[in-house]
């Protein structure tokens, strides 16, 4: 408990130094150790499938001189062509997987270098880190191109799957033709078994490709959010952590600014509890993003489905003109806070924004509440 109190006190000191106050403990009483944002590792890429889809081959057969025997020979040639297509699909898949692994390694190597520099400390907007960030974005684009190659390959395999199903039906129908000898039926049974195995391989290939595509698409989308958060960290010269985009989202829609009077009591129009963060814009260029990230991350660690209210609180002016000016300024500040949250990866549908006035503030402030 002593360690927890010390940690909370230190965090409050940081928030107050940057124009913020932090009341997380009032909303989420601690029950254990909370991992800091700096300790969050970069997400590893999802594992790709490892199957190798080698065609089983086609057994040769001696001609019988019958019409059915000729049909068997034609179907055997069709199966050979289908297995040739399957072999090319398999070769293309293995090449794409190799490229994806290499592109992922380069991407995570670049991101790790940026995080390492931020961890030991650097200047805000370091141009070297900006260059590395641009390189990481290009490498992520290459991973996305690998996903598009998988999608094109899946379309080709889908066509092969339809052809395989048609071929299997044709082989089975050939067994009903009249004028066959026993050798024809023996060869047809072998051909049907080999066609069945080929159909199973094509279906397995299509299934594994679909799983790879779904995982990689989700991974690329999440990493784009992480890159946005990393850009914010480079801008401020401070290490944050992963994007908030992976947290479970509640079903809600964002709202526009909604002005509501508070009667001078200094309470939120949507919650009577203490705000998670209060950002006081009482000087130019208030540095609040590090404290905001730490507070929101800790809230999401404890309540992954949490949503947030951003309240723009403007002072009560001595004249209508002064009050309108104060409301306009604090609204811009609230919009800036919302942009910071979305850059950190928090989905827009988890942020609700409103505006009010209060006689308890002189310069205007933005309060963030947890719902």
Q: What 3-state class would DSSP assign to 368?
A: strand
> Would residue 44 count as lying in a domain?
no
Q: Write the CB contacts of 155 (distance below 8 Å, at least 6 apart in sequence).
A: none
Mean pLDDT comparison of 7-11, 12-16, 308-312, highest-scoring range: 308-312
Output the pLDDT for position 43: 53
Q: Are residues 166 and 184 in the same domain?
A: yes
Q: Are residues 228 and 126 in the same domain?
A: yes
CB 302 within 8 A of CB 345: no
> Would residue 49 count as lying in a domain?
no
Of 9-18, 60-69, 234-243, 303-312, least confident by mean pLDDT is 9-18
Total Cβ atoms within 10 A of residue 106:
17
| Interatomic CA distance for residues 203 and 197, integer angstroms | 10
Q: What 3-state class would DSSP assign to 269?
A: coil
Which comes out higher in pLDDT, residue 17 or 275? Answer: 275
We report the CATH number of the domain holding residue 364 as 3.30.1330
Output the pLDDT for position 270: 43
Question: Could you tell me which of 203, 214, 174 has the C-alpha nearest to residue 191?
Answer: 174
| 185-214: pLDDT as tens digits | 999 999 999 999 999 999 999 989 988 999
Q: Are residues 107 and 180 in the same domain?
A: yes
Q: Are residues 251 and 177 in the same domain?
A: no
Q: Are residues 119 and 216 in the same domain?
A: yes
| Interatomic CA distance for residues 48 and 209, integer angstroms | 9
> Would residue 53 count as lying in a domain?
no
Q: What is the mean pLDDT of the chain?
A: 78
| 80-92: pLDDT as tens digits | 999 999 999 999 9
pLDDT at 335 over 50: yes
Q: Are residues 82 and 165 in the same domain?
A: yes
Looking at 236, 258, 278, which one is the last position of a domain?
Answer: 236
Q: Are residues 251 and 282 in the same domain?
A: yes
Looking at 219, 236, 253, which one is the last position of a domain?
Answer: 236
Looking at 211, 236, 261, which one is the last position of a domain?
Answer: 236
Look up the domain containing 333 and give its range.
2-37+244-370
Q: Are residues 232 and 115 in the same domain?
A: yes
pLDDT at 370 over 60: yes
Q: Are residues 215 and 249 in the same domain?
A: no
> Would residue 13 count as lying in a domain?
yes
> Would residue 59 count as lying in a domain?
no
pLDDT at 32 over 60: no
> Would residue 62 count as lying in a domain?
no
Beta-strand pair 365-370/308-315: antiparallel
Of 56-65, 225-234, 320-329, 337-346, least confident by mean pLDDT is 320-329
Report DSSP letters for 273-342, one per residue. Answer: SPPSEEEE--SSS---HHHHHHHHHHHHHH-TT--EEEEEEEE--SSHHHHHHHHHHHHHHHHHHHHHHH
What's the domain count of the chain?
2
> Would residue 151 count as lying in a domain?
yes
Output the pLDDT for position 90: 92
Mean pLDDT of 13-30: 40
| Interatomic CA distance for residues 231 and 229, integer angstroms | 5
Q: Are residues 191 and 286 in the same domain?
A: no
Percent of the chain with pLDDT over 70: 79
């Amino acid at each position: 408990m002593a360690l927890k109190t010390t940690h909370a006190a230190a965090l409050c000191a940081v928030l107050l130094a940057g124009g913020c106050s932090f009341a997380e403990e009032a909303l989420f009483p601690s029950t254990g150790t909370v991992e800091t944002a700096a300790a969050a590792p970069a997400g590893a890429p999802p594992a790709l499938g490892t199957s190798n889809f080698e065609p089983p081959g086609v057994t040769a057969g001696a001609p019988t001189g019958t019409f059915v025997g000729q049909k068997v020979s034609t179907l055997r040639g069709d199966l050979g062509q289908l297995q040739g297509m399957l072999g090319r699909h398999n070769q293309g898949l293995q090449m794409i997987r190799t490229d994806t692994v290499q592109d992922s390694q380069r991407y995570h190597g670049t991101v790790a270098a940026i995080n390492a520099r931020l961890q030991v400390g650097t200047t805000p907007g370091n141009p070297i880190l900006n260059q590395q960030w641009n390189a990481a974005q290009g490498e992520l684009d290459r991973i996305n191109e690998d996903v598009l190659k998988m999608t094109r390959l899946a379309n080709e395999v889908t066509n092969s799957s339809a052809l395989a199903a048609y071929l299997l039906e044709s082989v089975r129908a050939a067994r009903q033709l009249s004028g066959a000898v026993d050798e024809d039926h023996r060869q047809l049974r072998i051909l049907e078994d080999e066609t069945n195995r080929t159909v199973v391989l094509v279906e397995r290939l299509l299934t594994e490709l679909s799983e790879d595509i779904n995982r990689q698409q989700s991974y690329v989308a999440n990493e784009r959010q992480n890159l946005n958060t990393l850009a914010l960290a480079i801008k401020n010269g401070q290490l944050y952590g992963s994007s908030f985009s992976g947290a479970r989202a509640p079903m809600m829609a964002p709202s526009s600014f909604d002005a509501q009077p508070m009667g001078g009591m200094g309470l939120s129009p949507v919650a009577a509890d203490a705000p998670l963060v209060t950002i006081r814009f009482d000087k130019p260029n208030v540095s609040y993003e590090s404290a905001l990230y730490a507070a929101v991350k800790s809230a999401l660690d404890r309540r992954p489905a949490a949503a947030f209210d951003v309240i723009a609180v403007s002072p009560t002016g001595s004249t209508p003109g002064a009050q309108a000016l104060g409301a306009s300024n604090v609204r811009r500040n609230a919009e800036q806070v919302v942009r910071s949250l979305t850059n950190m990866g928090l989905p827009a549908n988890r942020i609700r924004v409103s505006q009010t006035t209060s006689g308890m503030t002189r310069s205007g402030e933005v309060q963030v509440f947890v719902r």
